[in-house]
Structure 1
Amino acid sequence: MKIALFLLPLLSLSSMTSNPDPNVIKPKAGISKTLFGTFPDGREADLFSLRNDNGMLAKITNYGGYLVALTAPDKSGKQEDVVLGLSSFSDYAKGTPSLGPIIGRFGNRIGNAKFTLDGKEYTLPANNNGNTLHGGPKGFDKQIWKATTIDGKEPALILTYLSKDGEEGFPGDLSVEVRYTLQKDNALRIDYKATTDKATVVNLTNHAYFNLSGLKQDVLNSQLMVKADAFLPTDEKQIPTGEIQPVAGTPFDFTKPTAIGARIDDPNDTQIKYGKGYDHCWVFTDKSKSLKLGATLYEPTSGRFMEMYTTEPAVQVYTANNLNGKLTGIGGVPYTRRFGVCLETQHFPDSPNKPNFPTTVLRPGDTYISTTVYKFSAK
């Protein structure tokens, strides 16, 4: 007997994020849990709310690790949502586009849905023009993760998942831990860790769509800076060709803050045509594995400013070219084309098939470790 799908709509963030009454005490920093919804097979998903003393709020579900909501203050101190989220659990359960989940076992694309490791070929499910995208149709974003909470001034949610040998075609039992921490300095920190019992490939990331206007307009006027002097050109199916091309003289040069919409429809650029805008991997100039500034995003109307720090060698910038207004968020906001921008920190796409790219191979005895921080302020 199937259990009916439990639907829990999300409260509008407008009531929680407007300018506070000075006589009202702000919610205390910490973490709380509520039931988000129930699948027909009885599995339950929870929703965790993390707050800091500045009034910043992050909402995360252990279904797929989705970042459902994240608020940040504008130049007047008003807290508003700055990521694209869906209005109810049922919307997430439908398997809608990747609005904020943990992506794995391999973020981005693997060409022709196959790769060879230690002389053995592995075939994966093809879910994107004959390629494997974001770990396959039943990737980490479709799994219920075990959740552990850490309360305090910097609340944290630790999500763990065991990806079994052969899941979506990948070898090895992979033990994964992802920790979300809402820091006192208005930063959301994401720490990734993984170990395996058999050689495999790993490339974890988060797929949040940012919109620093408070979900009031598209991101074309937002100013993006990426500390990258090169990017990866792709073929027409968006698989990297293996080249690492300088950004200088191309629409991909964001070494200085530039409006996202300034060159996004350049009719003379083949790469823009392939991506229908920006959907490419930028290679950081700083090749170190230390936590370094990788990109910034500034929205002039609200004054919100985001700094993105990462230990990863690259970032996939995606400008929501495929959103079409059919999805709506909290409060009924339609998510139209280019209503958000993803800054997916990661290793290079199709690395398992490109020996000249930084390796994504993880072997028994080694630990995959990665950190990304999204820090918010206003000016």
Structure 2
Amino acid sequence: MRAITKSRIIVATLLAALSAHAADAAEAKRTPAGTLKDGTAIEAVTLSNAHGVSARILSYGATLQSLMGPDRNGKIADVMLGYDDLASYVDHPNFFGVTVGRFANRIAGGRFTLDGKPYQLPLNDKVNSLHGGGKGFDKVAWKIVSATNGPTATLVLGYRSPDGDSGYPGNLDVTVTYTLDEAGNLGIAYDAKTDKPTIINMTNHAIFDLAGEGSAMGAYGHRLTIPAKAITPVDDKLIPTGALQPVAGTVFDFRNGRIVGEGIRDGRDQQIRYGHGYDHNFALDKGLTAKPELAARLEDPVSGRVLEVLTTEPGVQFYTGNFLDGTFIGKKGHLYRMGDGIALEPQKFPDAPNKPNFVSARVDPGKPYHHAMIYRLSVAR
């Protein structure tokens, strides 16, 4: 009996050890990624789980450089457009996977007013300010605060944006927290504190091809679902008019899912003509929420890969890479063209500081900013 009891104890101990190892399978690995021209060293941190999902993040731009995941046959591929090396992100910026801020998307004329005081931002999108304008969060070196293993692998990056940075008021202390768990949830949390009233709207600008970056067919054959009964229509400068336009009966109705390529060239729709395809903010039915809720579901019928995007924010910008024209040489020497990938960017509505009826992007001292989003990668069998 004692021998049997002893054997059981040994087996139980081994099982407990194996269980603990499995629970601690998510890892965060730091590696050098290159050096900026001013001598600043940039690192890459790879978060990985035991099921073939991994994410590589650069400290430059707090950039999500790659997201790897298996298809229904177990073949692992990178599902994000981007570059293989640091120099390309620096020399040929195109927002691939970067953290954008202080304000994601467009601000008309680069102008807004807070408490009666006008502010002017750099114009980097013809007559508008785009993704922060000037030297946005995508073009700076972030500090790695921590990188830890565990049931959920975690990376925390920090940056201080000084008062007047690119025209924005207030000293802003920002953190971006990436997490990856065993279920394939890549979480991204944005937190910021300011010492003056300011505006903040942060997100990630990943461009996805679930068939695998550089695939021959691109993302036009993907099936997309967006739970939104309205978009914020734009003018010919891609600035929202301030209205909410129902999607029913239009090529913008993704509520029950539709193939991306079905409406992308429908020139009968003025909004498609303005955007040269899809480049529009969808007003999510859920609105602003305390916890991340579904903003979009993207599926590649061929590979079986599924991406769900969840967010606490009230909108998601759907962009079909309309300005990719073959001049950008991406990973593995691939030339990126329109439709080679799509972006699904959770955020507040574009030009919100100039549209009183939109959810406010204002942030005040003592009332920190927080946006939590999730990229959930899985496989449909």
Structure 2 residue 145 is matched with structure 1 residue 161: no
1:150 deviation in Å? 1.6
| Correspondence for 1:199 | 197
- Give the Cα–Cα distance (whole angstroms) in 2 for the partners of residues 58 and 329 of structure 1: 18
Structure 2 residue 101 is matched with structure 1 residue 100: no
Contact 1:87/1:328 (<8 A) preserved: no
1:95 deviation in Å? 4.0
Q: Counterpart of 1:358 in structure 2: which amino acid?
A: V
1:28 deviation in Å? 5.6
Trace 1:34-53 onto structure 2 (pairs within 5 A): 34-53=31-50
Q: Counterpart of 2:310 in structure 1: which amino acid?
A: Y
Q: Counterpart of 1:157 in structure 2: which amino acid?
A: L
Deviations 1:306-336 (A, max 9, x none): 1111111000000001112222332222212
Deviations 1:207-266 (A, max 9, x none): 000110012131111000000010011110000011111111111110011000101111
- Give the Cα–Cα distance (whole angstroms) in 2 for the partners of residues 123 and 188 of structure 1: 35
Contact 2:194/2:365 (<8 A) preserved: yes
Structure 2 residue 170 is matched with structure 1 residue 172: yes
- Give the Cα–Cα distance (whole angstroms) in 2 for the partners of residues 287 and 134 of structure 1: 22
Structure 2 residue 361 is matched with structure 1 residue 360: yes
1:327 counterpart SS class: strand
1:288 deviation in Å? 4.4
Cα 1:326–1:208 shift into 2, 3 Å: same
1:153 deviation in Å? 3.1
Q: Give 1 or 2: higher helix fraction.
A: 2
Contact 1:34/1:46 (<8 A) preserved: yes
- Give the Cα–Cα distance (whole angstroms) in 2 for the partners of residues 175 and 58 of structure 1: 25
1:137 deviation in Å? 2.3
Higher Cα radius of gyration = 2
Match of 2:115 among 115, 118, 124: 118
Contact 1:108/1:133 (<8 A) preserved: yes
- Give the Cα–Cα distance (whole angstroms) in 2 for the partners of residues 151 and 165 of structure 1: 35
Q: Counterpart of 1:151 in structure 2: which amino acid?
A: N
| Correspondence for 2:274 | 274
- Give the Cα–Cα distance (whole angstroms) in 2 for the partners of residues 372 and 77 of structure 1: 26
| Correspondence for 1:294 | 295
Deviant stretches of 4+, over 3 Å:
none
| Correspondence for 2:223 | 223
Q: Counterpart of 2:296 in structure 1: which amino acid?
A: A
| Correspondence for 1:190 | 188
Contact 2:26/2:181 (<8 A) preserved: no
- Give the Cα–Cα distance (whole angstroms) in 2 for the partners of residues 247 and 96 of structure 1: 33
Q: What TM-score results when the alignment is normalised by the length of structure 2?
A: 0.91
Trace 1:1-379 onto structure 2 (pairs within 5 A): 29-147=26-144, 148-215=146-213, 216=215, 217-289=217-289, 290-379=291-380
- Give the Cα–Cα distance (whole angstroms) in 2 for the partners of residues 271 and 330 of structure 1: 31
- Give the Cα–Cα distance (whole angstroms) in 1 for the partners of residues 207 and 93 of structure 2: 14
- Give the Cα–Cα distance (whole angstroms) in 2 for the partners of residues 287 and 56 of structure 1: 30
CA RMSD, Structure 1 to Structure 2 (Å): 1.2
- Give the Cα–Cα distance (whole angstroms) in 2 for the partners of residues 285 and 89 of structure 1: 38
Q: Counterpart of 2:173 in structure 1: which amino acid?
A: S
| Correspondence for 1:5 | none
- Give the Cα–Cα distance (whole angstroms) in 1 for the partners of residues 326 and 58 of structure 2: 24
- Give the Cα–Cα distance (whole angstroms) in 1 for the partners of residues 100 and 242 of structure 2: 23
| Correspondence for 1:8 | none
- Give the Cα–Cα distance (whole angstroms) in 2 for the partners of residues 248 and 343 of structure 1: 20
Contact 1:67/1:85 (<8 A) preserved: no
1:338 deviation in Å? 1.0
2:32 counterpart SS class: strand
2:261 counterpart SS class: helix
1:272 counterpart SS class: helix
User: Aligned pair count?
Assistant: 353
- Give the Cα–Cα distance (whole angstroms) in 2 for the partners of residues 264 and 141 of structure 1: 28
| Correspondence for 1:9 | none
Q: Counterpart of 2:133 in structure 1: which amino acid?
A: G
Q: Counterpart of 1:112 in structure 2: which amino acid?
A: G
1:178 counterpart SS class: strand
Q: Counterpart of 2:113 in structure 1: which amino acid?
A: T
- Give the Cα–Cα distance (whole angstroms) in 1 for the partners of residues 54 and 32 of structure 2: 18
With 227-236 and 290-299 compared, the bigger mean Cα shift is at: 290-299
- Give the Cα–Cα distance (whole angstroms) in 2 for the partners of residues 142 and 255 of structure 1: 35
With 361-370 and 39-48 compared, the bigger mean Cα shift is at: 39-48
2:327 counterpart SS class: coil
Percent identity of the aligned residues? 44
- Give the Cα–Cα distance (whole angstroms) in 2 for the partners of residues 210 and 79 of structure 1: 15
| Correspondence for 1:11 | none
- Give the Cα–Cα distance (whole angstroms) in 2 for the partners of residues 186 and 351 of structure 1: 32
- Give the Cα–Cα distance (whole angstroms) in 2 for the partners of residues 355 and 337 of structure 1: 34
